Amino acid sequence: MIEPDLRDRILAEPERILEDRDVMNALVAANERALGQNIVDLRGVAMKRLETRLDRLEDTHRSVIAAAYENLAGTNQIHRAVLQLLEPTNFEAFIKALTDDVAQILRVDLVRLVLETVQEDGDNDPTLRRLGEVLQVAPRGFVGNYLTNGRNGPGRAVVLRAITSLAPTLYGERATDFQSEALMKLDLGPGRLPGMLVFASEDPSQFKSTHGTDLLAFFAGTFERTMRRWLG
């Protein structure tokens, strides 16, 4: 028999029993044992199925909420980075904002801007050399080849992937420092060779092929339009 005090408390507040999942599971299990093995408690089976479905719905709900917050945080990051790009009043300040403020906002370990050229001595241009290692001059066709990892084909405008064997051609001796990269092809206007904006990370999970590219495509579109202004 239940102790009188405990019985009185249960009768006074039965909803507390109903709200406790563990207690309810124990009561249902005890009821099934009391019925015996030859009797199927359809109500108990239905409750278990409903509980399983509820758990799945709760997991899905949490996943959707987490994805929404992550997407909102990513959008805010891109917006802040774009505003930083619009602040500078000269090209050198623009490049500095890219490597300092933008890299910090987007939490990337290296930013590199690749510009194709037909000049064999493009690296010796004093203006380019003054900008430091962020700007890399490459021969015609480099961008397309790097984006497709050496395979034939048009390639995508934004590529997220793990570091490949071509990394030394872009990062030099620092190639082993990075694990993933985001590559954005740049259209610099009529009559100009393409460029490429690169974000490299030491985190192998920061840029994956399964991630969405809409936000980076927007950032690249803003960046290339700003570059056209400076090049013009």
| 92 domain-assigned | yes
CB-count burial class (<10 Å; 0-12, 13-18, 19+) for 199: buried
Please, what's the b/e burial string for 143-158 (b: 16 or more CB within 10 A of its CB; e: otherwise)?
bbbbbeeeeeeebebb
Domain span at residue 179? 77-231
Give the model confidence (pLDDT) of 139-187 as tens digits. Answer: 999 999 999 988 877 778 999 999 999 999 999 889 999 999 999 999 9
Q: Is there a domain that residue 34 lies in?
A: yes
Mean pLDDT of 17-31: 76
Question: How many whole angstroms separate alpha carbon 197 and alpha carbon 81?
Answer: 14
What is the distance between the alpha carbons of residues 212 and 232, in angstroms, rounded to a whole number? 32
Quote the number of domains for the chain.
2
**182 assigned to some structural domain:** yes
Same domain? For 125 and 176 the reply is yes
CA atoms of 85 and 209, how far apart (whole Å): 26
For residue 36, tell me if it sits in a domain: yes
In terms of domains, do 126 and 214 share one? yes
CATH classification of the domain holding 120: 3.30.450.40
Could you tell me the pTM of the whole model?
A: 0.68
In a domain, 67, yes or no: no
